[in-house]
Copies of this chain bind each other. A is one copy, B any other.
Amino acid sequence: MSQRPYNFAAGPAVLPEDVLRQVAAEMLDWHGSGMSVMEMSHRGKEFISIADTAQRDLRELLRVPDNFRTLFMQGGGLGENAFVPLNLSRGGKVDVVLTGSWSRKSAGEARRYADVHVAADAADSGRIPEHWDLRPDAAYVHVCTNETIDGLEFHELPVVPNDVPLVIDCSSHVLSRPIDWSRVGLAFAGAQKNLGPAGLTLVFVRDDLLGHALDICPAAFNYETVAKADSMFNTPPTFAIYVAGLVFQWLKRFEYQGLKGLAAIEQRNIDKAKLLYGAIDASSLYVNRVHPSCRSRMNVPFFLKDERLNDGFLAEAKAAGLLQLKGHKSVGGMRASIYNAMSMEGVQALVAFLKDFEARHG
């Protein structure tokens, strides 16, 4: 068993220890090439084999249909907040559903390029709104399917009427569960939660949405240009792609309760979340304010009912080997991010600490 502390950071976040060990072992000489992956030309056969394998494994894990392209890009979620409307809005209408910090940021950025309409707003309700006021002639509808800061997750993707494409920002829960591609036009995800190092962004885009970028879209971020060059129009973030590829391989061989691959990791994520929310709900010191129907399996924000205990909680947690539990500065409190690479033992250790701390201070 690992002697490393448990790292609950919201991203950049914990990675599988097996992956880190392999990265270290291959650092000076990848597969007899005499080069570190960092030193390889992105157009050489060695790196192309790395990128091709990563893309194939990713598509296999998520069962990406043939009519979707997979792009390896740069710029993160905040970059995509601009690139999506630059590529898809055609300068027309964009509908956004607000469920937290990230969807609000997306809406704000899209206003530079399109007529943005808030179709629904969760405000501080802690739940995803039921009624959406959608426009039939919108270029797309944007949702953030897992709000990293607020801890809301879509457990089912919406069906958007009138064939309006759905754009999902799935940065903080990508590869934690399947995606129903029949309901999606475009999905994007920064890598630094479930995939690998910061600096890599994945985009999955349906073929028919390519080719409509505004003239002011930078060439390096024009999805059609990137797709035609197989993500090699710009020098891609090669090392991050390599690490993500190792994470994909780790996921493919992951086993849990007789399951394998994405089904196995999803089941473990369900079980981890159930354990942690159960402990919070059973306590009289901790509270999570998200409605149970849309609680995130990945990001669990919680508050101590006596906030004067916050600093002591964090100090004791760190001493117990439980790192980076402080909540986002915009909401305060605590947050435990329990991404794919967080083990069941890590969540059990957190739950044991929650109970112990409450017994002593509650």
Contacts and interface: CB of A to CB of B under 8 A. Distances in A.
Interface of A: 4-5, 7, 9-15, 17, 20-21, 23-25, 27-29, 34-36, 38-42, 44, 47, 74-79, 81-83, 86, 109, 112-113, 190, 192, 196-200, 215-216, 218-221, 233-240, 243, 321, 323-324
Contacts of A14: 35, 39
A36 B198 CA distance: 13
23 contacts: A12-B39, A15-B36, A20-B27, A20-B38, A21-B28, A24-B25, A38-B196, A38-B198, A42-B198, A74-B237, A75-B221, A75-B234, A77-B234, A81-B218, A82-B218, A82-B221, A112-B218, A190-B235, A197-B238, A198-B237, A198-B239, A199-B240, A239-B239
A234 B112 contact: no
Given A4-B28, A74-B76, A215-B112, A235 B34 contact: no
Contact of A234 (B78, B239, B240): B78
- For the complex, would chain A's binding face be called helix, strand, loop or mixed by DSSP majority? loop
Given A78-B234, A199-B237, A237-B237, A39 B17 contact: no
Nearest to A200: B199
A79 B237 CA distance: 13
A216 B20 contact: no
B240 A12 contact: no
A40 B24 contact: no
A196 to B, nearest CB: 7
Given A5-B34, A12-B42, A199-B239, 14 more contacts: A4-B29, A4-B34, A9-B40, A11-B235, A12-B238, A21-B27, A34-B321, A75-B221, A78-B218, A78-B219, A79-B220, A79-B234, A197-B237, A197-B239
